[in-house]
Amino acid sequence: MGALIYSLCALTSLLCAVLLFRSYAVFRHRILLWSGLSFSILFFNNGLVVVDKVVFPDIDLATWRLLCSLIALLPLLYGLIWEED
Amino acid at 80: L
Q: Using alpha carbons, select from 41, 65, 40, 39 the residue that is nearest to residue 52.
A: 65
- Tens of pLDDT along the chain (85 residues)? 999 999 999 999 999 999 999 999 999 999 999 999 999 999 999 999 999 999 999 999 999 999 999 999 999 999 999 987 6
Which segments of 1-85 does DSSP mark as H helices, in order? 2-27, 30-50, 62-82
The answer to whether residues 79 and 35 touch, using CB atoms and an 8 Å cutoff, is yes
The pTM for the full model equals 0.92
pLDDT value for 83:
83
Helix pair angle (2-27, 30-50), 10° resolution = 160
pLDDT value for 85:
63
